[in-house]
Structure 1
């Protein structure tokens, strides 16, 4: 009698059923810090970030920094990568397509070209004028400080998700417009002198939580859906004793903690009005520049600590020898992902549905030939690419 595998029998009995296969894939995050591309504006004698043309101009100029960024990505060869600080230009993705087609699709320094046939980019809050006095300088509607997120133009410091696997565009959720005050027990900034709310009531009611956006982007990996939970919280600095940016950073991070915890997610609504967070059995990877660490810096550490200690999350704690050598007096330096000496960039997979095989930070030592790619901010970025190799579980 001929023997059949269980999968073959299921496929015969249920011919339309999609069966998930175990897949090993690499997922990365990289703050490409492309505001360093303002060389175009400087050459014209214009102020930094005078228009949305800066990034487009740089992309069209065969710029070495972008080539280095592309080479780093080619060397790591991720299947899915989040780019932070890649401006959203509202140009029908022409800038992003230009980066893919003219840099990633072409060999850089002998590396194999890499293609991402699927990508997602959308509006963010940075540079979107609120018309309010958000920075407390007494002037309403003056960018960059009065943007819903700090930025000189709409889309400044944006995000982009690139994937070798199909994206389920119909089920993407974005949370750009979620109001900060709608988060239970939100950390409202308080003026320490008067002990009163730092924002006026009208401003507090209008203020959005996300300084850029929060995205839930489902990616279809050989029959299995993996939700990419992407964001880029505001730096917890550049404020005053009211700590408005520190508190916002905390609550932007806390949003994801609540989103993956069904008992806490009831208050959440997306930009289409759909309520709630991710379902208990759904697989996810949280990724981005969180601008926070549990041990260094000015962030309110309870936010990032509660996330990293969430029982639904695995933290591989990627590390590098070069990071350790960069700040030899810091015992946590091997975990750093930025050249100023902090761990701020994260790839955090769910416990459900994923096994961690390997992880790393692209940070060559000074004696490595590839050090040229990260030797300073102009070479590529002040952040390092962080990656995890994962295997899906049925």
Structure 2
């Protein structure tokens, strides 16, 4: 058995107060990671200690290249310390970390406000500083880093039939030809990370597409979200992945049949903000097992009249976070959304965004089969 989870932890710089003057070269996030005292981080660690995933993707964990000040500090000062008398520490000896497009400065005025600022809407992916809203993969099992693939640099225009945004008034392209030829598709990055469970390999397909909102009538974020999801769907099959290349220049898609798609996908079949067909392409893919939907009773209580509210993974009333295994190589045994009800003593872990996150951890228990 292997338990695999995804969790948008909202661990980005702007979430945290400054408690004292920082050392030169440090950040507010790094300070709180170093102390072991931040209650939000303690709660996030406790959620992980209670659910105990073997493999977990943390979305919105700012990219800090110096691991000793970032993910290693989170392990040492939070995960390795029991956060409640009823839980045990949890250790992830294997970590995959790589840069993202968020906040990485571009020379272009992508948002067309008249200023090429290099940040925010003018970065390769929206972010106010490099690495904001990054991601990190934690694993109890070995990671084959040599064969891991990242698609951070793949150009949106290199996708055949890409949904190029247009000015609604003129029907002309939103981006100039130079911008369109340069713009990267992934708002963060797309990863294919092989994790070895004994002799069996799991391809962890990690991502965090842009929210399909925060733009204008041109819907550039909605179209980008659609095509980021399409990139994952196309990656799964030989016949649809011929156009794809990774950051090392290697072409083609998945080199195996056992995979799990992980991440805050910012898309739902029930959301009007999601471009039509974006999630259906993944959920209905012939290689994806989407039959088991993780749920929670607390989510169901958010909007009791909606039968699908039990599927919510975010406080803002949506199923946004997914663990989607391949049909081949797994039997789905169990799964859930970690969302304690209001009458539970564990509700303190999710009662607000400040308590932990506005997202909930989602997990599946998978039996590996030949």
Calculate the TM-score normalised by the size of structure 2: 0.96
Q: How does 1:138-149 map to 2 (within 5 A)?
A: 138-149=114-125
| Alpha-carbon separation, structure 2, partners of 1:138 and 1:93 | 40
Q: 5+ residue gaps in structure 2?
A: none
1:313 and 2:324 are equivalent in the alignment: no
**Pick from 32, 45, 48: which aligns with 1:73?**
48
Distance 1:93 1:137, change over 3 A: farther
Q: Is the 8 A contact 2:13 2:27 kept in 1?
A: no
| Alpha-carbon separation, structure 1, partners of 2:62 and 2:108 | 23
Offset at residue 124 of structure 1 (A)? 0.2
Offset at residue 105 of structure 1 (A)? 0.8
| Alpha-carbon separation, structure 1, partners of 2:21 and 2:213 | 29
Q: Is the 8 A contact 1:40 1:58 kept in 2?
A: no
Tell me which residue corresponds to 1:354: 330
1:184 and 2:167 are equivalent in the alignment: no
Deviation by residue 1:135-154 (Cα, 9 ceiling, x = unmatched): 11010134112110111111
Q: Is the 8 A contact 1:292 1:301 kept in 2?
A: no
Tell me which residue corresponds to 1:40: 17
Tell me which residue corresponds to 2:7: 30
Q: Is the 8 A contact 2:329 2:368 kept in 1?
A: yes
Deviation by residue 1:314-353 (Cα, 9 ceiling, x = unmatched): 1211111100001223331100000010000000000111
Tell me which residue corresponds to 2:211: 235
Q: How does 1:238-317 map to 2 (within 5 A)?
A: 238-279=214-255, 281-315=256-290, 316-317=292-293
1:223 and 2:199 are equivalent in the alignment: yes
Q: Is the 8 A contact 2:34 2:69 kept in 1?
A: no
Of 290-299 and 231-240, deviating more is: 290-299
| Alpha-carbon separation, structure 1, partners of 2:179 and 2:20 | 37
Tell me which residue corresponds to 1:100: 75
Tell me which residue corresponds to 2:316: 340
How many residues are matched?
365
Tell me which residue corresponds to 2:148: 172
Offset at residue 36 of structure 1 (A)? 7.3
Offset at residue 52 of structure 1 (A)? 6.8
| Alpha-carbon separation, structure 2, partners of 1:276 and 1:261 | 9
| Alpha-carbon separation, structure 2, partners of 1:379 and 1:200 | 43
Distance 1:116 1:391, change over 3 A: same
Deviation by residue 1:135-188 (Cα, 9 ceiling, x = unmatched): 110101341121101111111100000000000011000000000000000000
| Alpha-carbon separation, structure 2, partners of 1:333 and 1:91 | 40
Distance 1:98 1:44, change over 3 A: closer
Q: Is the 8 A contact 1:233 1:252 kept in 2?
A: yes
Choose 1 or 2 for highest CA Rg.
Answer: 1
